[in-house]
Chain A
Amino acid sequence: MSKELFTELSTMANKKKLFFGAGAAIIMLMTAFRAEPVQQPVAVKASAERGKQVYVKRCMACHQADGGGVPHLNAPLDGASAVTGKDKAKLIKIVLNGMTDRVEIDGEFYSNNMPGNKDLTDAEIADVLTYVRTGWSNKSSAVTVAEVKAVRTKK
């Protein structure tokens, strides 16, 4: 196990929030998979399932159960080009810091304020973005804890 991954695991273990009840071995296994360049379907599915819980609490009010958003108000996540695109760092930043840009998204403007979610753990953000990127009609790759961590520590 790489040194980096080890530190990551210990940080996560400290943030007990997400890991209550789960066996440490499973966590390590799943996290190890996530750090692999090739994403393991089982681990991705598990991450997305955890991510759904985060989504229901923190995102669904605005982005709706089907990820459809609200016309002109809250951007859709289902089928959105940025959500399914390659720039995961951008998505992580949006979830961390929120978004009030009023920029055109796939030809439309949205007039609500999205709050930041700095209180969520790296794992929760990875999970919720994995859920969003693999849910509904979206078929993109997962977001890893390491990717979230990298974005969060940059600033």
Chain B
Amino acid sequence: MINLIYMFVFSLVYLLLLALTAGILTYVERRIAGRMQSRIGPNRVGIQGILQFIADLIKGVQKEDIIPADAYAFLFKIAPYLVFMGVFLTLVPIPFGAYTLMEDLDVGIYYVLAMASYVVIGLMIGGWASNNKWSLLGGMRSAAQKISYEIPAALGVFIVVIMSGSMNFQKIVAAQGASPVDWFVFRNPFTFIAFNLFFIASLAEGNRVPFDIPEAESELVSGYNTEYSGMRFLFFFLAEWGNLVVIGALVTCMFFGGGSFWYEWKISIPAPGRDPIVFEVLGFLWFLFKTFFFVFVIIWIRWTLPRLRIDQLMDICWKYMVPIGLISSLGIVIWMYFIPENSTIDRIVRLTLTSLGAITVLYFKYRVYKNLKITKATIYANPFV
């Protein structure tokens, strides 16, 4: 009984936190989008517009909940909840800290992949039950897209699983370390490819630009959620932004060392002088920092790239990502057989890749600086206007 209450309270807290984070993310995204387009973005509700999402929520709740006359009412009603639930459930095994997680599943990654495809059902049902051809097309497209992109995502995950020898998130994080050299992205070329595969495929699975074909505002009138209004419509959006957090957290866990600080992950007996709670909190914050960095990157990509055509989308998946994924999953097996961990070659490769990453970041800085020079703009880094 006490376990049940404990479970209930925890899931409620998680749910509220996710909803709140998703809400704040809508605001953050709009501010970032504004600045990238030389606009300001919402800044009137509350201090700098931080309460904008609450205003939107109130507006959404006030709207009439319209169910089209010919829609299949029951399925139409539950579809948004299915989508939101699918996104929320993916959070279950993600370790925000060594102890801050809902359930330490042994099949963590597998479970996440399964839940990610479960979202498709919600989208399909929503699209079909609306009895509207745009919605149906949107739903079909999203199903086609998610199913295709599940393969590269799974191949990326597969490489990580081989590297760490476990599907448990805790063990995957523990297999990496605190410094960038130990992260899986820079471990060897194949894991780097795996990172790219997984990240791109997650974008596609989360219906984010440049893979937002199921939603395609300009062609499909917003796709599967055309007929939705009010609160149900908001649920789709909550799911979409909640999904950003999930993607960010997954990428952080699998490729960027999770929340591991300069201490070993999951120290059961803390060394003298180390307060486990302080380290837990620090690890948690470090994890959140990385997660939100990736959320920022996803938002940034959205406001940079145009949408792909459907044939380009399928090209990228089947002609590029799947073959590359297959080759690199073969490659990782060979690599692991011939080059043992911490051998000289391994270390050299790690260091090279890490420094390549650092060089990319530096070059990126240089390009940004150049662009600023071309536009002759003065730098105004203050996020508030």
A and B pair up: no
